[in-house]
Structure formats: C-alpha cells, structure tokens
Amino acid sequence: MASIAALGVGSGLDLNGLLKQLESAERQRLQPITLQKRSFEAKISAYGKLEGALSQFQDAVKKLGAAETFGASTSSVTGDSVLAAATNAAPTGSYSVSVGQLARAYSVATNGVADKTAELGVGTISFTLGDGTAHTVDVAAGSTSLEAIRDTINNQQNDVRASLVNDGSGTPNRLVFSSAVSGTDKAISSLTYGGDLAANLSSDAATEITAQNAALSVNGINVTSQTNQVAGAIEGVTLSLTKAGDSTVTVNRDQEAISGAVTEFVEAYNNIQKTIGDLSSFNSETGSAGQLLGDSGLRSVEGRLRTALSNSVPEANLKTLSELGITRQLDGTLVVDEERLTQLSTDQVGDLQAFFAGTGTAEGFASKTATAVGQLLGENGLITTGTEGFKNMLSRLDDRYIREEERIASTIDRYRTQFGQLDSLIASMNSTSSYLTQQFAALDAQLGRK
C-alpha cells in the first residue's frame, strides 16, 4: 500500500488537530520553567537598581571625604574695576584692589596703498619684540600684495598678527601689525623692511599705539602685569581687570557647596531606602510583591548600611551624625536639621571636615562608610555574588528548558509515528471492508438474492 502523505488522509480522522492538541498539552511543562526564568531575570534587574543606588550613595560619601569639598571658596566683588574667580586655595578675607591702568597691546600701521591687490615687490619684514624674540618674514614673488603679505606674516609666526584697515582716503589700505598679547614684553620694539618693500612700505608713527602693562595695587601693595588677567596678586584668586578704579574683593568659604554635599549624601541614602522599600514591598490588597521580597541579600545590605550610619569619630569635636543634625526617622530615612547644618557650614567648617574627612590620626565617617559600601559593591560583595547566583540559576533553567523541549519534540515525534501507523491501519481496514462489501454484493447477485 502507498504511504499516506498527511495524517488523517487514510482514516478520515483529524489526526493533525489531535497532534497539535497533544503538543500544546506537552508544552505546558515549559510554563513553570518560563515563570522561574522571569522571576530570576526580575531579581537580576532589581539587584541592578540596588547597585545603582549604592553607587550613587558611594559617590556622595566620597565627596564628603574630599578635602576640597570643605575648602571650596567663593568670591564677590564690590565695584566695577575687576572681576574675581577664587579657587579652593584662596584664603578667606577682604582685599582692596585699585586699578591704575589696564594692560594694552602694541599696534602700528603702514602707510596707505591705493590697491590692496597690487604687487609691492619682494623683500623681507623683520620685527623684534620687547623680550628679544625676533622674526624675519620672507615676501616672495607672486605674494607681494598687502593681502598676500598679511597672510604670509600670519602663517609664519604667532607673536604678531597682521590685518588690513581701510581709512577711506585716496590711499586707504593699510597693513596693521599688532602684538598677539598685551604688555611690554611682547610689544614690537623694532620693525624694518628689506628689498623692494623698503621703498613701498613704511611704518606710520602717527598710527602707533604703544604697549603698556597693567598697574594695580592690592591692599596698598603695587602690582604690575603683562595682561589684564592677574593671577597670584591674591593667593588662589584670578583678577580680571576691566577698567581703572577701586574695588573690594571678598573671599568666603562656599557654604552652599559644603551644605549641598551633606544634603546630597542624605538624599542618596534616602534613595537607597526607597529602592529597598520598593524591592521588598507587598500589597495585601492586590497581592503584588517587590522583586526581592524575602531576599536575604537585600536584608544584609540594609543591615550593613544601618551599621555604617552608626559609625562615629571619637577623636573629632563632632562625633556622630546626630550631632550634625542628621537623624533617622521611623521609616529608615534620614532628615537634616537645615538650621544646624547652616550654622556648622558657616561657623564650624573645620569640625565638619574633621568628622567627614577625618584628621591626621583619625579616619573620618566618610572613609569608614565608603569602605562599607565598597565591600557591598566589590568583586566578592553581596551585590556581585547575589547577581551571579541568580545568573547561575537562570543558566541552569535555560539548560532545563532545552532538555524539556527535546523531550517534548521526542514525544510528539512518537505520537506522529503512532498516528501514522493508526492512519495506515484504518485505511487498510477501510479498504478491506470495501472489498468484502463488494464481494458480498457480487455473491448476492450470483445467488439471486438481489
């Protein structure tokens, strides 16, 4: 008998539909594995959120352990003759600044030329600066117009910049030489022309602007500067001179930066508490639960953080967080007494720094806490080991899923073979039945029964 191409052809039964139902039923064995996989994937994601919150907290703690956080300075200016920018090296205080004159760059123009594109002849232009630096620019054939000379000068050196000015006269085009920076050191002390240029160009003394250095005094001490940016006249402060006149520069500790760092620490810790709360939550009405409800690793993290916050610095005047006005609430979060923090960051910066950053002989709160958080986030810490544990479980579930799929495929193949055999058997039986029916009908006809 010829083989049956599709199930049910021989028997007339819906064996394909039945096989699909059996396969669907078999695949139900995969559902628990899929649910377990999703659970572990959610836990891995949850540990990632926890790691992010801990890293943010660690950064905030390290910031409190940095000396520059408490050395941050801010400057203010009364008057309009200077601007001031203070670094952390600037000592606090008030400084009287009197600007006598601003620094100025040297400038001189050549005599006028009617056509700025006309060739003026080959030659050289030589200039020497106040500090002895000398340059000689060669002007070659084909590049001897004012425009070309300008470009040649600017391409061959950087101490003097050349530009063109049109004064509106009958011979309006002038080549202007300007020192790249202000002050007498970089002023042009001599300017000479060689070759054909000596006859066609000359410096116009009437256009000369002499260089000068800035002159100022700080608390009565005279200061000179080649530029209008004066660094070092006040330690840790850069003055930008704007005009002649008197101003007062005041340097204070940046109280907002200091209190802001403490507030950032508190907010980062509270963010961890919120993250832990979300991950371990349970809603009795809806039955929904956080991804890490009941997770031992999460409880360990929470416990170690509580321990870290209890760190004290016995050697410092301020020994605990509570003495700084930072206290724990019933929900585990921290709250800051803003008035107390303002008073400390204004009047007791040294004590605040000693508590967080430590002293020469004592480890500060920030260092102790950063170590504890670092252990949680480290290679062998709870976050890494917990995450790796979930990943290992996920990998085993993947292997189990593959094995179950193979078993299901094998079972369905066996069903398909058995259904094929059943289809063939029924087809054979139907064929035999049809044959016998025909034979009996023929026999009845011969015997005259019909």
- Tell me the pLDDT tens digit for each residue of 86-104: 887 788 899 999 999 999 9
pLDDT band, residue 140 (cuts 50/70/90): very high
**Half-sphere exposure of residue 109: CA atoms within 13 angstroms, side-chain side:** 14
Q: Is 269 exposed, middle or buried (0-12, 13-18, 19+ CB in 10 A)?
A: buried
- Both tokens of 408, joined, read 């299901």
Residues 205-237 have pLDDT tens digits of 889 999 999 999 999 999 999 999 999 999 999
Q: Is 330 exposed, middle or buried (0-12, 13-18, 19+ CB in 10 A)?
A: exposed
d(CA 355, CA 316): 6
d(CA 314, CA 177): 68
**Kind and range of the H or E element at 14?**
none
- DSSP letter (8 states) at residue 3: P
Residues 268-288 have pLDDT tens digits of 999 999 999 889 888 888 888
Q: Read off the amino acid at residue 332.
A: G
pLDDT for the residue numbered 117 = 94
pLDDT at 449 over 70: no
pLDDT for the residue numbered 138 = 95
Question: How many C-beta neighbours within 10 Å does residue 279 have?
Answer: 22
Q: Which residues of 419-444 are buried (b: 16+ CB within 10 A; e: fewer)?
A: bbebbbebbeeeeeeeeeeeeeeeee
pLDDT for the residue numbered 133 = 96
pLDDT average, residue stretch 138-161: 95
The 3-state DSSP composition of the chain as helix, strand, coil percent (nearest 5) reads 45, 25, 30
Domain boundary assignment for the chain = 52-68+256-382, 73-102+214-253, 107-209
pLDDT band, residue 4 (cuts 50/70/90): very low
Q: Is beta strand 237-241 parallel, antiparallel or unpaired with respect to 245-253?
A: unpaired
Q: Read off the amino acid at residue 402.
A: I
pLDDT at 49 over 50: yes
pLDDT for the residue numbered 10 = 57
- Both tokens of 272, joined, read 């961890």
Q: What percent of the chain has pLDDT over 90?
A: 52
Q: What percent of the chain has pLDDT over 70?
A: 96
- DSSP letter (8 states) at residue 178: E
d(CA 229, CA 238): 7
The angle at the Cα of 261, spanning 259 to 267, to the nearest 5 degrees, equals: 105
Q: In what order do the strands lie in the sheet with 73-78?
A: 73-78, 245-253, 93-101, 214-218, 221-225
Cα pseudo-dihedral 33, 35, 38, 44, rounded to 10: -80
Q: Is 144 exposed, middle or buried (0-12, 13-18, 19+ CB in 10 A)?
A: buried
Q: What is the mean pLDDT of the chain?
A: 89
Cite the DSSP H helix spans in 280-381. 296-309, 338-347, 349-357, 365-377
Residues 308-329 have pLDDT tens digits of 999 899 888 999 999 999 999 9
Looking up tokens 């001490």 gives 221
pLDDT for the residue numbered 11 = 61
pLDDT average, residue stretch 10-27: 76
d(CA 359, CA 140): 69
Q: Which residue has the higher pLDDT, 164 or 347?
A: 164
pLDDT for the residue numbered 387 = 87
pLDDT average, residue stretch 429-438: 78
Q: Is 344 exposed, middle or buried (0-12, 13-18, 19+ CB in 10 A)?
A: buried
pLDDT band, residue 440 (cuts 50/70/90): confident
Nearest to 253 by CA among 77, 75, 83, 82: 75
pLDDT for the residue numbered 1 = 37
- Residues near 329 by Cβ (< 8 Å), separated by ≥ 6? 335
pLDDT at 3 over 60: no
Residues 157-202 have pLDDT tens digits of 999 999 999 999 999 999 999 999 999 999 999 999 999 999 889 9
d(CA 435, CA 420): 22
Can you name the residues that pair with 175 across neighbouring β-strands? Answer: 164
pLDDT average, residue stretch 383-409: 87
d(CA 127, CA 367): 60
Q: Read off the amino acid at residue 64.
A: L
